């Protein structure tokens, strides 16, 4: 991962209807989404979206149905044109692109993994995986070599000559991922890519994506309505409601510090012990000496659940937190227990007064 901003979205609005520019004036004047529809017969899809997506990270955009998440991801490769705003990729505003530049963006810079797999039934698995290179004019013999390489990486060795109907749903989605990887594009867009899969297969696909990301460091934009999936995958989490960003940031921070009742509802049923990491609640050493009266060391990225098991439920224990073998903080079990109790946005507001 780097600090480089790969994708930057600025002041993005999308309004659906016959006169979106005129309707935008009403939105800028404070008209709500419901009033825009009821009084002006226009639908507010996105409202003033501002998000930076860093190179080599997974940015997860989540929200309930109708929140605008799929609309947003389709602005990145201009499958949908905005009413107002900017979308920059590597510092260039893609909304100014002509036809040739836009074609290059879709063929070589961004690949997309769809919810419904979108495989061509008359083509073999290997031919499907090599579709993007085929479209670029790469010879079949060459793109099949590249396709087979990525089919192997996603666990489909030996299935290249099969057809999509001969594969299970999970296997078909692996072909979709292989197709995106075969394109060798630096950006992957994944729109509800795993939501049609059974829970166990879905978990396997999440693990596969994280395994590949550790090796490839793609810039991934992942759409989901599932908070467990979002917390597992995201380096940066963006939560949408009614077309606007309610909260965004590092997932652990959002879980510990919800800033809106809408976010509270999302995180209320989460198993916090299984999701929260030691690094999120430890006390940094900040140059202080490493304490010696502890019950051992714990990795900074371990879950609280694993630490509870290690302590045997004893709340008087404390541990030294390490990162790559170096002490970076401390954590006592009392602080861990407190972290398991959700903090509400109303409590946060009360602390400010």
Could you give the domains of the chain?
5-267 (3.40.50.300), 272-339 (3.90.1280.20)
Confidence band (pLDDT; 50, 70, 90) for 353? very low
Quote the strand ranges of the chain, DSSP E: 5-16, 43-54, 58-62, 84-89, 92-93, 110-113, 187-191, 219-224, 236-241, 244-249, 283-284, 297-299, 318-323, 326-332
Name, in order, each residue with C-beta under 8 angstroms of 107's C-beta and a sequence gap of 6 or more.
Answer: 132, 135, 136, 183
**Would you say the C-alpha torsion 142, 144, 146, 149 has a positive or negative sign?**
negative
Rounded average pLDDT over 199-225: 92
Write out pLDDT tens, residues 51-100. Answer: 999 999 999 999 988 899 999 999 999 999 999 999 999 999 999 999 99
Q: Report how far residue 142's alpha carbon sits from residue 145's, in angstroms, rounded to the nearest whole number.
A: 5
**Phi-psi label, residue 56: left if phi above 0, alpha if psi -120 to 50, beta otherwise:** left
92-93/110-113 β-pairing: unpaired
pLDDT tens-digit map of 273-290: 888 999 999 999 998 899
How much is the average pLDDT of 185-201?
A: 88
pLDDT, residue 292, reads 86
pTM of the model: 0.87
Question: 287-315, pLDDT tens digit by residue?
Answer: 889 988 888 899 999 999 999 888 887 88
**What are the residues whose beta carbons fall under 8 Å from the beta carbon of 252, sequence distance 6 or more?**
276, 277, 279, 280
**Of residues 10 and 113, more confidently modeled:** 10
At 228-256, the pLDDT tens digits run 899 999 999 999 999 999 999 999 999 98
- Give percent of the chain above pLDDT 70: 96
Residue 195 is predicted with a pLDDT of 83
pLDDT of residue 150 exceeding 50: yes
Name which residue leads in pLDDT, 118 or 139: 139
Residue 346 has pLDDT above 60, yes or no: no
Query: Is the per-residue pLDDT at 124 higher than 90?
Result: yes
Neighbours of 267 (CB within 10 A): 20
The pLDDT, as a whole number, for residue 235 is: 95
CA-wise closest residue to 331 among 342, 343, 341, 317: 317
Q: How confident is the model at residue 343 (pLDDT cuts 50, 70, 90)?
A: low
């Amino acid at each position: 991962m780097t600090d480089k901003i790969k994708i930057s979205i600025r002041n993005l609005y999308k309004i659906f209807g016959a006169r979106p520019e005129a309707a935008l004036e009403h939105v800028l004047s404070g008209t709500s989404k419901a009033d825009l529809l009821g009084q002006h017969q226009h639908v507010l899809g996105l409202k003033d979206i501002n998000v930076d997506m860093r190179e080599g990270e997974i940015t997860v955009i989540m929200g309930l149905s109708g929140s605008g998440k799929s609309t947003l991801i389709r602005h990145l490769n201009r499958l949908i044109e905005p009413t107002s705003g900017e979308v920059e990729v590597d510092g260039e505003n893609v909304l100014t692109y002509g036809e040739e530049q836009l074609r290059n963006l879709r063929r070589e810079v961004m690949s997309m993994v769809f919810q419904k797999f979108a495989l061509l039934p008359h083509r073999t698995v290997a031919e499907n995986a090599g579709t993007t290179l085929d479209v670029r004019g790469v010879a079949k013999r060459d793109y099949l070599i590249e396709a087979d390489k990525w089919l192997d990486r996603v666990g489909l060795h030996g299935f290249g000559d099969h057809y999509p109907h001969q594969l299970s749903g999970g296997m078909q989605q692996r072909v979709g991922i292989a197709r995106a990887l075969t394109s060798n594009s630096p950006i992957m867009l994944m729109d509800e890519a795993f939501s049609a899969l059974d829970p166990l297969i879905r978990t396997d696909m999440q693990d596969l994506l994280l395994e590949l990301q550790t090796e490839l460091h793609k810039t991934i934009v992942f759409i989901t309505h599932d908070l467990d999936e979002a917390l597992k995958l995201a380096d940066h989490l963006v939560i949408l409601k009614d077309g606007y960003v309610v909260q965004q940031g590092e997932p652990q921070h959002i879980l510990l510090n919800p800033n809106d009742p809408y976010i509270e509802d999302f995180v209320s049923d989460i198993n916090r012990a299984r999701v929260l990491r030691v690094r999120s609640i430890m006390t940094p050493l900040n140059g202080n000496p490493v304490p010696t009266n502890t019950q051992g060391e714990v990795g900074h990225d371990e879950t609280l659940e694993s630490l509870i098991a290690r302590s045997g439920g004893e709340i008087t224990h404390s541990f030294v937190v390490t990162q790559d073998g170096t002490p970076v903080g401390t954590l006592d079990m009392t602080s861990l227990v407190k972290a398991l109790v959700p903090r509400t946005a109303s409590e946060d507001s009360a602390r400010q007064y």
